A and B are shown apart, each in its own frame.
Chain A
Amino acid sequence: MWPRLPFQPEQASSVAKGVDHLYFFLTFITLFFTAIIFLTIFYFAVKYRRRSDEERPAEIAGSVPLELAWTLIPTLLTVVIFIWGSSLYFRNARPPRASTEIFVVGKQWMWHLQHSEGAREINELHVPVGVPIQLTMTSEDVIHDFYIPAFRIKKDVLPGRYSSIWFQATKIGAYHFFCAQYCGAEHSGMIGWVYVMSPADYAQWLSGGRSGETMEETGARLFTQLGCTTCHISDGTGRGPSLLGLYGKPVRLEDGRTLTADEAYIRGCILTPFKQRITGYPPIMPTFQGQVSEEQILQLIAYIKSLHVEEGKAKQ
């Protein structure tokens, strides 16, 4: 690779081309205006060079039409760039409805990734080509950032909350991903590879890399081990609320707020249950802070989400 000077990163996702088009347009604008300024300066500097120390050129105070022109033209141009950049951003930010979810936990200084089917990876991510993938990400410690240049996507990975990002790979191959938010000593070692595979290869990889349990199954096992089943009974007779069909539904809290029970809400309930108690239940749930890792929380969430799907056929 040494002698080849690359000018463009691979375009390997569905959004890469769109971003590049805007990038090229901006490059053109930059070169165009830089050239205008450079050439004008050069022309003036030569044409009006000082020929005698006695020269006193005539006064020119300014020109209102010129001021208006070079205020309005750049303004119009930035409006165009703003609309282009923003609409593309909004289009790129919205994930398609049916996307496969993969969970990412950043910690000093490695990436842990887990597929819903159970396969776990460290600093590697295998994905099928042409399938929209959504990454749900959190951090065990400081702020990290998940960045895949070939896909033109990037998002901070924060402790204490979930961020998400999606992509649809369009080209089979191996691409770098980087941590793009400085996170300490080995920040520059926090890099890895995305392997984009054909669907058949991916299916084969998935069955080979299987840990024996899906994330749901691990979550269900944890749910029992941690004693959650003592209170959260699916028919609603327990001391805690039934979690059946909880995910995605609005919940009324003791302090009067109404929230949607999403990943962040469930995570909050596990770590600080007293802060978001559902109305009508006693404050008896202990905190699990320090007892479960971010990855285990994601597995528990995967399990609780599955209770939503399986309509009354809970495995409690």
Chain B
Amino acid sequence: MSRTPAEPTIESRVHYLNVDYGVKSWLLTTDHKRIALLYLASITFMFFVGGAAAVLMRLHLVEPQGALVQPETYNKLFTMHGVVMIFFFLIPAIPAVLGNFLVPMMIGARDLAFPRLNLLSWYIYVVGALFTLLALLTGGVDTGWTFYTPYSSTYSHSNVILVGLGVFITGFSSILTGLNFIVTIHKMRAPGLTWFRMPLFLWSTYATSVIILLGTPVVAITILLLALERLLHVGIFDPKLGGDPLLFQHLFWFYSHPAVYIMILPAMGVMSELITCFSRKRIFGYSAIGFSSMAIAALSFLVWGHHMFVTGQSVYAGLIFSALSFLVAIPSAIKVFNWTATLYKGSISYDAPMLYALGFIGLFTMGGLTGLFLASLATDVHLNGTYFIVAHFHYIMVGGTIMAYLGGLHFWWPKISGRLYPDGWARFAALVIFVGFNLTFFPQFMLGYLGMPRRYAVYPPEFQVLNVMSSAGASILGVGYLIPLIYFIWSLRYGPPAGPNPWKAKGLEWTTPSPPPTENFEETPVVTEEAYAYSTKEKQGG
């Protein structure tokens, strides 16, 4: 790969990283790029907390009787893994890190519409995370990330309230970030950047923000109701107090199913950027991909009942939810076909971000198709609550979201840091992660079909072979995630300067120096072409 280091030295120029020094300059910053880095540090920390829990779980499950901990501890481990990964990593990962950094840069703006609100969002996130970590350090919580009642409201003896509070608080961080993005995208686009010239990452960020604004308040209310019942014994969910245990599940999934799309839609946006850049092609079917994001956002609110087919929900409700769940699969399929078609007659290179992108397509396709087993009523009865579900959503969340997040991080890292990471190591890490991931989660599909329920601290010996395979994969996957951590940190100091546009990519963010100056652009850019106009030579930015 030939990259021309066009810059003199990074240090000789004033940019957002060296404009000011000291802890205070970071903690009081309102620069969206610095806030993105604050988020990057916090969610990376949370990712390794959640990851440590996963590694302990997989080690424990090497033996049918459990190799490591008591069942109570195991239950706390999977709860911690779920809560931390979903609320404190997957939901904020792409929007709060990449979105924060890129939304203003992609639309040619100085900053987000409400820079101080943006900083406040980060503080709220940190407070929520601290409550959750405090709960984990003072004994943990054992309800599962789903907090099903009446177990969570009446029977559990663990720190439900503290974790609930953490999740409740961090929800406001999402809401404020979503609000900020919506206003920014509406009001601050550069001259000439019409809606249909926007990069698709912005479309998917916009769709995600809409879901966050509409859905997150519902989970906040649900947690409040849970706290009311647990603390004051107001009968809402526990039948002994006159409540309805299924009401909780309806409320919870009304948010938490759309939350799946909060996690995957931004990943889809990243994909459109990566595929186009590394095949040097305009995206195939721009409007099909853009509108499918909006269709997913709308339909995502109508499918929550597919989590409840075996709860005793009316069979006719099950019928409707099944049909709608099949419907929401279509826009995702459309995206996969369009990304694949974008490669046709392109000029494809295999830099590390592209390897993650191709890995995403494969894993997301499998994750999506196995969703059909669960949307279909007759097969869901057998597979619901087993390892099949665990495998399915990890193919979407880890194979999809984390692959795209890592791909995006590798793609924009030269812009964020101004430096290049070692390309060989990065490709190697992508390969390790792909292999480790499949070895971890593919056996879990088979375990689920054989009937092994999830959340089991001990299990019958006939399931051992597949569990050992899965645990072996998890240790490979764990190593795979550590490698980028090391070379990203290394590159901050020793990486060669990247220059403004090392990938020869299109998009406004590549027309400004790396790292960008605090004000992003010296003068407001004017957009004169469609997104992904890769057939024309890129402008060399200053």
Contacts and interface: CB of A to CB of B under 8 A. Distances in A.
Contacts of A40: 340, 343
Contacts of B345: 48, 57-58, 60
Contacts of A58: 345, 535
Contacts of A74: 329-330, 333
A62 to B, nearest CB: 4
B47 interface: no
Nearest to B289: A62
Interface residues of A, number: 87
A82 interface: yes
B379 interface: yes
A82 B376 contact: yes
Contact of B384 (A34, A66, A154): A154
A161 B239 contact: yes
A51 to B, nearest CB: 8
A61 to B, nearest CB: 6
Say whether chain A's binding surface is mostly helix, strand, loop, or mixed: mixed
Contact of B151 (A51, A150, A184): A184
B322 A85 contact: yes
B373 interface: yes
A85 B373 CA distance: 9
Interface in A47-62: 48-51, 53, 55-62
Contacts of A149: 382, 450-451
A22 interface: yes
Q: Which of B151, B239, B279, B386 has the most CB of A within 10 A?
A: B151
A60 to B, nearest CB: 6
A32 to B, nearest CB: 9
Given A48-B347, A142-B155, A159 B379 contact: no
A185 B457 CA distance: 9
B150 A45 contact: no
B384 to A, nearest CB: 6
Say whether chain B's binding surface is mostly helix, strand, loop, or mixed: helix
B142 interface: yes
A21 B364 CA distance: 25
Contacts of B142: 184-185
Contacts of B323: 82
Interface stretch (A6-14, A110-118, A194-202): A6-14
A181 B149 CA distance: 11
A218 interface: no
A156 B238 CA distance: 15
Interface in B366-386: 366, 369-370, 372-373, 375-382, 384-386
Kindly list the 5 A-B residue pairs having the minimum CB-CB distance in the complex, ordered from nearest. Answer: A149-B451, A160-B239, A85-B376, A89-B377, A188-B456
17 contacts: A2-B461, A23-B373, A26-B379, A30-B369, A33-B369, A34-B362, A48-B346, A60-B344, A67-B338, A78-B326, A81-B375, A88-B377, A92-B381, A145-B310, A183-B151, A187-B457, A189-B458
Interface of A: 1-3, 5-9, 18-19, 22-23, 26, 29-30, 33-34, 37-38, 40-41, 44-45, 48-51, 53, 55-63, 66-67, 70-71, 74-75, 78-79, 81-82, 84-86, 88-90, 92-93, 108, 141-143, 145, 147, 149-150, 152-156, 158-161, 163, 176, 178-189, 191
